[in-house]
Copies of this chain bind each other. A is one copy, B any other.
Amino acid sequence: MTSSAAPPPPALLGRPPAGPEAPPPVGVAVLGCGTVGAALVSLLVAHSAVLAVQSGAPVDVVGIAVADLTRSRPAVVPASLLTDDAAGLVKRSDVDVVVELIGGLDPAGALIRRALEAGKSVVTANKALLASPDGIELRTLARRRGVDLLYEASVAGAIPLVRALRESLTGERIVRVMGIVNGTTNFILSRMADDGVPYDEALAEAQRLGYAERDPTADVEGHDAAAKAAILAGVAFGSEAVADDVHCEGIAGIDVRDIAYARRFGYALKLLAVVERHDGGTLSIRVHPSMVPETHPLASVRGADNAVFIEGEAAGRLMLSGPGAGGLPTASAVVGDLIDAVRNRGARTTAPAPEREPARLLAVDELESAFYVRMTVEDRPGVLAAVAGAFGDHGVSIRSMEQQVPGDAAQLVFTTHRAREGALRATLGALESLGAVASIDAAFRIAGEHEP
């Protein structure tokens, strides 16, 4: 019955280990035991039987590396497994797979390197590392050593975004990936939009609720989203990019008035991460606030949720959304990768990790978009003509002009037709040097129904 082309039956997969051929347990080291680490340990304990079936072998946590052995931890974390010698743990011969949840470049990068060099697969949620030059090196190392370096948890929590791009859509010509990948800023913008709360207050509330760190820079300046955009460029387009390649504008200090005006025009202000392919194979990778039409599905993403559109030539526009952070959702993504790593190890294979080309970037000035501009001008005759002239001189066509505060001629809000971003920048430069313009107070891209 078997044709000559038939492969032999595979190794034990997808079945509970039993009988004389039962595979030995796979030893897992967990590096870092904060919110995500503790949630991971709780999931691995609670579901060990299911995991053994899914992985094809029992999955045993054999050690948990922490910085401070004296800190109190949830009861589910076995004290006997704790160690403060992460490097020693990675080296141990009973460790087959390493889960890195320390975060940051150092010492996480060095620990992952050691694990990969020793032929151990690695699962990580470390977006900063993955989007750094070290990340490129680690991916190359994993490829060379024939082991997995998996990172579903690094972008958009439990949303199976990385795997969808890496496996389901691997034959797809992706046109664009864009979405809301930072829950902290989305929480802040949602509070400002829904309740008219000013930025500082919304940020303070996010900090109180644990959505934002004490130092919120990475979130509000867009750096966190930029790292994720660089990771998505790699998975979606096979282009090796780092966070520094990403054009990045955050939401720090955004004026609640602009959010209210946006609403009046029928838009929600959202911090978007965008990776898109342009003519000639160049990529635009960027993070910036955009005014999104209220009818767009991204406009209704509230609170700390994440949502990402994947636009493929054949697949069409897919949206994936869900909790973008949090201990359990992130740990859930780690478990999915861990099962993958254990299965692949058993089958002596790896997840797809094709070699990447360096990203060829399109200058942000070349992008086209409609714009929103708010400015303060002197309230005297001729000012409007001068301002309109500055737009016209640079080929930026005005779509609407409004005095947003009735009776206050000094506050002007413009929207433009689509224009090159470089032209808009030049316009703003010219406006700033006009004596009649006191200040350019805000400038945002306006997204279309299908474009960021």
Contacts and interface: CB of A to CB of B under 8 A. Distances in A.
A119 B171 contact: no
Given A4-B93, A315-B333, A347-B349, 14 more contacts: A5-B119, A5-B120, A7-B348, A10-B349, A14-B352, A14-B355, A51-B171, A54-B352, A158-B172, A163-B168, A167-B340, A171-B332, A315-B329, A320-B320
Contacts of A9: 145-146
Contacts of A50: 171, 173
Interface-centre pick from A51, A331, A347 (highest chain B CB count, 10 A): A347
A322 B328 contact: no
Contacts of A289: none
A50 B163 CA distance: 18
A314 B329 contact: yes
Contacts of A53: 354
A172 B14 contact: no
A405 interface: no
A343 B170 CA distance: 12
Interface in A29-66: 39, 43, 47, 50-51, 53-54
A329 to B, nearest CB: 5
A74 interface: no
A5 B300 contact: no
A395 interface: no
A25 to B, nearest CB: 11
A95 interface: yes
A373 interface: no
Contact of A332 (B120, B315, B323, B347): B315
A278 interface: no
Contacts of A75: none
A399 interface: no
A422 to B, nearest CB: 33
A29 to B, nearest CB: 12
A403 to B, nearest CB: 34
Pick the most buried of A11, A340, A348, A349: most chain B CB atoms within 10 A of its CB.
Answer: A349
A339 interface: yes
A150 to B, nearest CB: 11
A146 B7 contact: yes
A353 interface: yes
A50 B345 CA distance: 25
A119 B319 contact: no
20 contacts: A1-B117, A1-B119, A3-B93, A3-B118, A5-B96, A14-B354, A47-B173, A157-B315, A157-B316, A158-B169, A163-B164, A167-B167, A168-B336, A170-B339, A172-B335, A313-B328, A314-B335, A315-B323, A315-B332, A319-B319
